[in-house]
């Protein structure tokens, strides 16, 4: 029977410019028991040495103990989990349910549900903004929504030209990069939409976000 597994690899590097036959070396294989179907996003909790796996095809969130290289637990009854975010306070794990249309916040130790916020079609990527203590979720035919990272309260939203398949929050600046589009939170940490660009982000411009319902 096919069993999904995680393969841990170590990159072997050298300062000398010489051919390397095996730049990646398999060091460990971790079986995910009872998991079937596609695996989507991963997120690592370095402080507690745990890996969180969105088992989309299995409708579960899998937790892996990286210190011992073992499967720790399975959180069931999700609906095509996709994006995962782990705010650094260590208290919650945020999971976007692609088929459920919501963002769930779980207690990171007991894995009980803290809250669930309805968003819309196909919530996907989830990012955490440490400066504003906000979660950002891309969903639908083109939108990113900002939520309070502790309560899941919907704060604001920006519309985009298409589904934000991937985006990143700027670490030392006010922008969110969405493929070829750029979003910039205002002074209240509410993102706003800038014009599409290539590699250069632009300050200012764009439309203000409407508050979330």
Question: CB-hemisphere CA count at 13 Å for 85?
Answer: 29
Dihedral over alpha carbons 167, 171, 176, 179 (to 10 degrees): -40
How confident is residue 197, by pLDDT bands cut at 50, 70 and 90?
very low
pLDDT at position 206:
33
DSSP 207: B
- Which range scores top for mean pLDDT: 38-47, 162-171, 186-195? 38-47
Q: What are the residues whose beta carbons fall under 8 Å from the beta carbon of 188, sequence distance 6 or more?
A: none
pLDDT over 90 percentage in the chain: 56
Q: What is the pLDDT of residue 69?
A: 94
Token pair 């976007």 is found at 96
Retrieve residue 119's tokens.
């968003």
Question: Picking from 13-27, 56-70, 95-109, 127-141, which range would have the lowest pLDDT averaged per residue?
Answer: 13-27
Environment class of 22 (CB within 10 Å of its CB; exposed 0-12, middle 13-18, buried 19+) = exposed
Condensed to tens digits (0 to 9), the pLDDT of residues 70-124 reads: 999 999 999 999 999 999 988 999 999 999 999 999 999 999 999 999 999 999 9
The backbone torsions φ and ψ at residue 160, rounded to the nearest 5 degrees and listed phi first, read -125, 170
State mean pLDDT over 38-50: 95
Nearest to 66 by CA among 78, 79, 52: 52
Kindly tell me the burial class for residue 9, based on how many C-beta atoms sit within 10 Å of its own C-beta (0-12, 13-18, 19 or more).
Answer: exposed
DSSP 108-132: TTT--EEEEEE--S----EEEETTT
Cα separation values, 191 from 34, 126, 156, 187, Å: 40, 15, 7, 9
- Do residues 64 and 54 lie in contact, with contact meaning Cβ atoms separated by under 8 Å? no
What CATH number was assigned to the domain covering residues 39-211? 2.130.10.10
């Amino acid at each position: 029977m096919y069993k999904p597994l995680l393969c841990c690899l170590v990159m072997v590097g050298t300062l000398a410019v010489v051919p390397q036959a095996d730049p990646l070396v398999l060091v460990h294989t971790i079986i995910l028991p009872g998991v079937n179907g596609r695996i989507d996003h991963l997120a690592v909790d370095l402080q507690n040495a745990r890996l969180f796996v969105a088992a989309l095809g299995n409708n579960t969130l899998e937790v892996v103990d990286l210190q011992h290289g073992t499967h720790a637990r399975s959180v069931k009854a999700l609906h095509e989990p996709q994006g995962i975010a782990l705010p650094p306070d260590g208290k919650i794990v945020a999971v976007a349910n692609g088929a459920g249309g919501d963002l769930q916040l779980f207690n990171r130790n007991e894995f009980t549900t803290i809250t669930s916020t309805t968003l819309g079609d196909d919530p996907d990527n989830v990012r955490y903004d440490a400066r504003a203590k906000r979660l950002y979720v891309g969903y639908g035919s083109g939108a990113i929504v900002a939520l309070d990272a502790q309560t899941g309260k919907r704060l604001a939203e920006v519309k985009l030209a298409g589904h934000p398949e991937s985006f990143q929050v700027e670490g030392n600046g006010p922008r969110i990069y969405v493929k070829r589009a750029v979003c910039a939170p205002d002074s209240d940490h509410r993102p706003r939409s800038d014009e599409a660009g290539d590699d250069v982000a632009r300050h200012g411009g764009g439309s203000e976000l409407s508050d979330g319902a």
